[in-house]
Chain A
Amino acid sequence: MSRTSSALERLANREYEYGFVTDIESDSVPPGLSEDVIRTISKKKNEPDWLLAWRLKAYRHWLTLADAEPTWANVHYDPIDYQKIVYYSAPRPKKKLESLDEVDPELLATYEKLGISLAEQKRLTGVAVDAVFDSVSVATTFKKELEKHGIIFCAFSEAVQRHPELVRSYLGSVVPYADNFFATLNSAVFSDGSFVYIPKGVRCPMELSTYFRINAENTGQFERTLIVADEGSYVSYLEGCTAPMRDENQLHAAVVELVALGDAEIKYSTVQNWYPGDEEGRGGIYNFVTKRGKCAGARSKISWTQVETGSAITWKYPSCILLGDGSIGAFYSVALTARRQQADTGTKMYHIGKNTKSTIISKGISAGHGQNSYRGLVRINKGAAGARNYSQCDSLLLGDRCGAHTFPYLEVMNPSATVEHEATTSKIGEDQLFYCRQRGISEEDAISMIVNGFCKEVLRELPMEFAVEAQNLLGVSLEGSVG
């Protein structure tokens, strides 16, 4: 590996571009977790009693889980002190904003720097953005436009005020408060996030997007996103995330719930670029996230596409509950672990309805000292006649100090099901590199090209705007302008 080590080294230890800190005054609660803290958060958000009760129920349950922090994942980290985390931090002053002009210019500049323009004239065309800064949503663009179609796209806390009946009927319906250690913690302390409702038969005319930014020190981000696609509707939703470079690890324990009713389709895409920590493994985000979608209605469809390049540790398994007959779940993932990053990620496909289908395409890239694990469950329940699953998990190794691991779990209880799983692991080929270089392409470009080719099946699932960002993140240039 010696000859290629320099180019691989650069790829493995590439600069983190989004590591700056925004100097802004914030309104934070003191570190630590208690019923009082939860009451404070709930009060700051002026929440109805039922929601506070739900949070407290979750918190009390979480207290019983003290020994149940998951240990089965193939990741290693020092125990987290949950009393040292700040559970709420918001930019101050947080008065009611009437228009974007009132958003703190410091914040607008922050998002500008991140490539997300919130200003009317410079917005990404065709993409509505909800910007979440630490614990709160600071701005949502194109709201009026969307309202014309009856689409609700707003901060979660706003939805609680304006559409309590919708929130109440779907909150926790896919990820119950007692689901797992981190989801339970989130249920107790979640601060903000996005809420989306697409009415019956409406095809959302633009991409909806949330941009998450952790800024404050020692702060955990616990956002909660809920997307409901009513019968026959369609929505494509994107999320992106970054955080400053800090030597301390920060916890991000989000929950995302998707509900697709009959014939509805939700496409959920993530480009995750939380701070990965430095070359020695200091700092970085612990990304412990629970994402699950329920294909509640017949022929509904949910697809998860993720490009995971950041975080010190990633622990997430975006899943689909295929309840409706003929419903379809998909999971497309690229996970890149460089430096000392660890990722244990994959999906769960629960086939419950008849003739349900799922596809899993997972591409793991390991460089530096990165450890990359695919962990996926395909479960075909007894009643899921005619269910089909196809899984493909490929790993690419760049360098000899990294690792790639595959842990698929296939559980089949119906004889008419067809389940296929394939996996391969290989290193980037010397022959491929030499071939490219003989044609005049530099070693670095050649590596990018090969990595890009390796990920292609996943990248093409992303909406165009995000595909570009994802490819840049993977250190590759945009392909496909020819042919």
Chain B
Amino acid sequence: MSRAETQPYLERFRRLEPSAAEPTWLHGMRDAAIERFAEFGFPSPRLEDWKYTSVRSIATSDFGGAPPARNPFSKRDVAFSLGGDFHGRILAFADGRYAPELSTIEALPEGVIAESLATALAGRPACIEPHLGRVATWDAPEDAFVALNTAFLGDGAFVYLPRGAVVEAPIGLVFLGLRNGAAPISQPRILIVAEAGSRATIVESYAGCGPDAYLTNAVTEVVVGAGASIDHVKLQCESGSAFHVSALQAQQSRDSRFASHAISLGAALARNDVNARIDDAGAEAVLNGLFVASAAQHVDNHTEIDHAKPHSQSRELYKGILAGRAHGVFNGKIIVRPDAQNTHAQQANDNLLMSEDARINSKPELMIHADDVKCSHGSTIGYLDESALFYLRSRGISAVEAREFMMRAFASEVTRAIGSAPVRTRVDELVTARLARGAPLEIA
């Protein structure tokens, strides 16, 4: 892509005034990142990983608008994101900046930290330095958005679980975007560090309201220590005019478990990357995803599970429901490295096409370099089962209801795997509302 498109970002970077509270190593990282971004530019569809997704509309828009001076959101908007039954700690962000007035500071177990990244960078940089920018990769043209996020890295969330800590209530991270038309960009950075044997559920929820465009470019880094277990839920309910790009990279130690549940319901263009790197034996990765799109929405899901060590397992299920003129993409890569004997990997991608103009590109990939493995993948594309639809209608259910009923049933295979009950309930409510509305939801 052309130089011109990166220019506004380079200029804004030059004008950036780093906060005095920040550690100096961060400046070096930002400098390196902007250099990479300048070199790569926005990813082009000529890159295999961006083959089906053009980000021209992002590249040619100017998302330089300053966010409103006063936070335009209320606690009601936070409740929309997480539901009424959510009783854990909530960190809320408005257009990418931490909003304490919207956050809920529930007590956390001894030693557990969940605070804004800006606070953590100022207060405990030593906890952050070993991980930040080292889990996510931003050294290839495919990762240009991660480089861009890193270049402007400032705020977001930091969650730390000390050895053996168990946090029962989920921790909520709520990102709200745009209430009036200044076309802002929000680039939150989330760092989750789970020490050995710890356990928690973390929910990232993105919501917004239109009708103007804004861009969310989020990066999440997760370090899962030995025997630790992290359930990560991402609920993407951006407004129908938003652009949403996000990348999650988990790094797993021995016998750890990482589960990602990526629910994608909104945005004009959404691109989700979810990657798990299994760096030690005995670890398990579960990547689940549900994407619903209609009208002219474009939603692209990329996942990669890298089995680098033996005796690890992964299960992956992504489901898509596409209506209107929506375009869905699933690209799931499973890599089994030469040392990763006894890997067990299962991957499935099932898609429903609900209209004449909807389309899907599914690309499940296996790259196997070890011989003692059991790996499989499957992909299906089709319409709802006509005979089941007929059965429901013959029992007196209307055609519209029957379709919704079947779509909910299709989606529930993904949502019911979410462990935390209040989170699962809210996800189900939003999926149901999304399917009934036939368009992205917006916060009121």
Contact = CB atoms under 8 A, between A and B. Distances in A.
A–B contact, 8 Å CB criterion (strictly below): yes
Interface of A: 1, 72, 380, 382, 395, 397-427
Interface of B: 48, 338, 341, 351, 353-383
18 contacts: A405-B368, A408-B362, A408-B365, A408-B379, A409-B361, A410-B361, A410-B379, A410-B381, A414-B353, A415-B358, A417-B381, A419-B381, A419-B382, A421-B362, A421-B378, A423-B377, A423-B378, A425-B375
Given A382-B356, A419-B379, A420-B378, A404 B361 contact: no
A415 B322 CA distance: 9
B383 A416 contact: yes
Contacts of B362: 408-412, 419, 421
B379 A415 contact: no
Contacts of A410: 360-363, 379, 381
Contacts of B376: 422-425
Given A400-B372, A410-B361, A415 B383 contact: yes
A399 B370 CA distance: 9
Contacts, number: 116
Contacts of A398: 371
A159 B268 CA distance: 56
A413 B379 contact: no
Given A415-B355, A424-B375, A425-B375, 17 more contacts: A400-B370, A400-B371, A404-B366, A405-B368, A406-B364, A406-B377, A408-B379, A410-B381, A412-B359, A415-B353, A415-B383, A420-B379, A421-B378, A421-B380, A422-B376, A424-B374, A425-B373
A415 B373 contact: no
Contacts of A382: 356-357, 359
A424 B378 CA distance: 9
B365 A407 contact: yes
B363 A408 contact: yes
A411 B338 CA distance: 31
Contacts of B338: 400-401
A403 B367 contact: yes
Nearest to B362: A410
Contact of B363 (A402, A403, A409, A422): A409
Given A410-B362, A418-B382, A403 B369 contact: yes
A408 B364 CA distance: 6
A1 B382 CA distance: 42
Contacts of B361: 409-412
Contacts of A408: 362-365, 379
A405 B375 CA distance: 11
Contacts of B371: 1, 397-400, 402, 427
Nearest to A430: B372
Given A412-B353, A421-B379, A426 B373 contact: yes
A296 B348 CA distance: 34
Contacts of B373: 397, 425-427
Nearest to A422: B378
Contacts of B369: 403
A419 B372 contact: no
Contacts of A425: 366, 368, 373-376
B356 A415 contact: yes
A417 B382 contact: yes
Best-surrounded residue of B353, B371, B374 (most CB of chain A within 10 A): B371
**Shortest 7 CB-CB distances between A and B: which pairs?**
A415-B353, A397-B371, A413-B359, A410-B362, A419-B381, A406-B366, A427-B371
Contact of A412 (B355, B360, B370, B375): B360
Nearest to A74: B367
Nearest to B339: A400
A316 to B, nearest CB: 19
B368 A407 contact: no
Nearest to B343: A425
Nearest to A410: B362
B100 to A, nearest CB: 47
A246 B131 CA distance: 53
A415 B354 contact: yes
Nearest to A381: B359
A427 B375 CA distance: 10
B43 to A, nearest CB: 16
Contacts of A407: 363, 365
A65 B64 CA distance: 40
Nearest to B335: A405
Nearest to A72: B48
A419 B338 CA distance: 32
Contact of B374 (A405, A406, A426): A426
A360 B360 CA distance: 20
A416 B364 CA distance: 21
A413 B367 CA distance: 27
Contact of A403 (B358, B368, B383): B368
Contacts of A415: 353-356, 358, 383
Candidate in A380, A401, A412 with the most chain B CB atoms within 10 angstroms: A412
B356 A397 contact: no
Nearest to A416: B383
Given A409-B363, A413-B359, A414-B353, A427 B372 contact: yes
Contacts of A418: 380-382
Contacts of B382: 417-419
Contacts of A1: 371
A404 B378 contact: no
Contacts of A397: 368, 371, 373
A405 B373 CA distance: 13
A72 B46 CA distance: 11
Contacts of B377: 406, 421-423
Contacts of A414: 353, 356
B433 to A, nearest CB: 23
B311 to A, nearest CB: 15
A370 to B, nearest CB: 12
Nearest to A396: B371
A384 B158 CA distance: 50
A72 to B, nearest CB: 7
A395 B370 CA distance: 12
Contacts of A404: 366, 368
A408 B366 CA distance: 9
Contacts of A424: 374-376
A194 to B, nearest CB: 36
Contacts of A427: 371-373
A276 to B, nearest CB: 20
Nearest to B354: A415
Nearest to B330: A410
A410 B363 CA distance: 6
B232 to A, nearest CB: 27
Contacts of A419: 362, 379-382
A422 B378 CA distance: 4
A397 B358 CA distance: 38
A426 B341 CA distance: 11
A365 B312 CA distance: 24
Contacts of A423: 364, 366, 376-378
Nearest to B359: A413
A8 to B, nearest CB: 10
B372 A405 contact: no
